[in-house]
Amino acid sequence: MTTPEPTDRSGEIANASGDLVPTPGQTVGPFFGFALPYERGHELVPPTTPGAIRFHGTVYDGAGDPVPDALVEITQADADGRVHGAEGTLARDGMTWSGWGRCATTRAGTYSFTTVEPGAVDGRAAFFAVTVFARGLLNRLFTRAYVPGDDAALAADPLLSGLDEVARRSLVAVREDDGSLRFDIRLQGEDETVFLTYPRHEP
């Protein structure tokens, strides 16, 4: 078997449209469970790490029922507020900081990461950048889970300060008695989570 020399088509876009326009998203569907989750994908640090916390929550649908087939990913700064990551994101060797994690929801719609609290980057309000996928959700959703506590930084945050109280509350994680951070994600409803779009995203 030899692979034939490919024709040089580097100037063309290979799809049925052939144009350089962003590819549409589609739902992650019901069957990602055997493909995307991986061993310790939800552990950004080993549970025994000093300062390790749980960042967790439940994904709810518009009827208030848990969503048992969602996938949550987080990207975050380290505890010192540094944004970096070393090659080896899928290899959870206990040493490599990647700043990224993935967790599928359980039958009860819950997810849980083991991580450290992100530090403030350049003195700004600290947050986890969150992506949500689910069966029934036709495109991914982006949001932020802010770390509670630094009221001055939260009040100064450009995104939060433009929101009403209900919307603002949907983006701030809750400090639980056990020290963990809980961030519930509501896909639909009166207290729906605020989801984000960024410049260069076009509907």
Residues 66-85 that bind other proteins (CB under 8 A): 66-69, 73, 75-77, 83-85
| First and final C-alpha spacing in the chain | 44
- 8/177 with CB nearer other proteins: 8
Of the candidates 80, 156, 99, the residue with the CA atom closest to the CA atom of residue 125: 156
Residue 91 burial (CB count, 10 A): 14
- 166/174 with CB nearer other proteins: 166
* Stretch in the footprint of other proteins (CB under 8 A) among 47-55, 58-66, 147-155, 175-183: 58-66
- Does residue 37 interact with other proteins by CB under 8 A? no
CB 117 within 8 A of CB 128: no
Report the amino acid identity of residue 31: F
- Does residue 39 interact with other proteins by CB under 8 A? no
Annotate each residue in 81-120 with x if it binds other proteins (CB under 8 A) or - if it does not, as one string. Answer: --xxxxxxxxx------xxx------xxx--------x--
Supply the minimum distance, in Å, between the C-beta of residue 113 and other proteins. Answer: 14
Residues 134-193 that bind other proteins (CB under 8 A): 134-142, 144, 158-159, 163, 167, 187-189, 192-193
Gap between the Cα atoms of 120 and 154, Å rounded: 11
Supply the minimum distance, in Å, between the C-beta of residue 54 and other proteins. Answer: 20
* Stretch in the footprint of other proteins (CB under 8 A) among 18-26, 49-57, 147-155, 173-181: 18-26
Report the amino acid identity of residue 77: A
- 52/159 with CB nearer other proteins: 159
The secondary structure of 78-128 as a DSSP string is: -TTS-----S-SS---SS---SEEEEE--TTSEEEEEE-PPPPSTTSPPEE
- 20/178 with CB nearer other proteins: 20
Q: Does residue 166 sit in helix, strand or coil? A: helix
Supply the minimum distance, in Å, between the C-beta of residue 92 and other proteins. Answer: 10
Gap between the Cα atoms of 88 and 1, Å rounded: 32
